Structure 1
Amino acid sequence: MTVDIHTPIRPECLLPADEGWERPRGAEVQEVVRRIGLSGRALARVLGLSEHGGRQVRRWISGETPVPYIAWAILCDMAGLGTIWRGKTLEMGLSGVNELASDDE
């Protein structure tokens, strides 16, 4: 029998950067990486990190270095946790763009 234990991701780690986002703990990074199902090296390539980027992913998991928001946001999207960067600020900006577009018509 296999026991599949999942680490919960705190809600404050899934917020836009300017709306109270808190850096994920190493275990939360590890959980997101597990959900994606790719190796650290493969994730590093997807994120555009250096050829030794797999080491950087391991540092995020160990908590040795904090994961940058943009990398975390991409990982969350890849893991099916949503586009966490889409918050109130972006919605307000997009609604302003829509208003400008309708003014041009």
Structure 2
Amino acid sequence: MEIRPECLIPFSENWSVPNGDEVREIIRRTGLTGGQVAKKVGLTGSGASRTVRRWVSGETDISYAIWGILCDLAGIKSIWRETESD
């Protein structure tokens, strides 16, 4: 599955929130489980894994900061860094 380019850019009014399928794909590329993802991004408590499931289902939007961490863990790129051409 491809991730839309507008989800892989530095935060601005042009950044698009990834949909559930895109979140699922990034998590798949990390090789982590939902529980491991929750731990890596600092989610704690009994609802941490549920939050990840909500991102994947599209019920809740993922934040740019957490999306950026997951993209980095997935080996995509550090999306928060501007390229020289930007």
Answer whether TM exceeds 0.5 for this pair: yes
Q: Distance in 2 between matches of 1:64 and 1:50?
A: 19
Q: Which runs of 5+ in 1 are unaligned?
A: 1-6, 92-105
Secondary structure of 1:18's match? coil
RMSD over aligned CA atoms reads: 1.4
Matched, 1:70 2:62: no
- What percent identity do the matched residue pairs reach? 52
Q: How does 1:40-59 map to 2 (within 5 A)?
A: 40-51=34-45, 52-59=47-54
TM-score by length of structure 1 reads: 0.75
AA of the residue aligned to 1:65? T
Code of the aligned partner of 2:73: M
> 2:24 maps to what in 1?
30
Q: How many pairs are equivalent?
A: 83
Residues 44 and 54, structure 1, Cα contact 8 Å, conserved in 2 = yes
Misfit runs of 4+, over 6 Å: none
Structure 2 length normalisation: TM-score?
A: 0.90
Question: Relative contact order (alpha carbons < 8 A, sep ≥ 6): 1 or 2 greater?
Answer: 2
Residue of structure 1 equivalent to 2:15: 21
Larger Rg computed on CA atoms: 1
Where 1:42 maps in the other structure, the secondary structure is: helix
Distance 2:13 2:81 in 1: 10
Structure 2 unaligned segments of length 5 or more: list them: none
Q: Provide Cα deviations, 1:24-82, integer angstroms capped at 9, x if missing partner.
A: 01000000000111111111011001223111011000000000000000000000110
Corresponding residue number in structure 2 for 1:102 = none
